[in-house]
Amino acid sequence: MDYIKIRFTNDFDDSGPGRSMSELFQSMSPMFAFSKTTWKPQLDIYETSEKIYVTAEIPGVEKEDLELEVSPRAIRISGKRTGAPPAANGRYRLAEIQYGPFERILHLKTPVDTENITAKYKNGFLYVEITKLPHRTRQNIPINTE
């Protein structure tokens, strides 16, 4: 059985204002990409009281070119889509398919169990199932006078 690489970490590059500006310009035209990331796969995120389900649409990406990193508060899906080189004596009439590296970082509102995650890649879709950690309840602590 082949496995998708999953790496556990405690920190991710925080999305700062420079990254937001890059995303704004990149959405208008890929030529305005300020970083190495040239495209972002589409995602569906579904949540129940116990789990978070993420589906990433990444056709044309080999499973070996995918990476999934998980921390208690975020997940990072990254990889690379390579394309066939154009013929030496031809030229593009239309080029809409985006190739190159990609990255999606999802910051989660609820902490997740980094030991209880499954990932499956099939027909160009990455399916990730993440178990949430139980909510911690507040507890009143008595204060002694002694």
The token pair at 80 is: 């690379």
> What's the gap between Cα 113 and its chain centre?
17
The pLDDT tens digits of the residues spanning 71-127 come to 999 999 999 999 877 778 888 788 888 889 999 999 988 899 999 999 999 999 999
The pLDDT tens digits of the residues spanning 29-38 come to 444 444 444 7
- The Cα angle at residue 36 between residues 92 and 55, in degrees rounded to 5: 90
Domains of the chain: 1-9+48-82+99-135 (2.60.40.790)
Residues 6+ apart with CB under 8 A from 77: 41, 43, 54, 56, 66, 67, 68, 103, 104, 106, 126, 128
CB atoms within 10 A of CB 103: 17
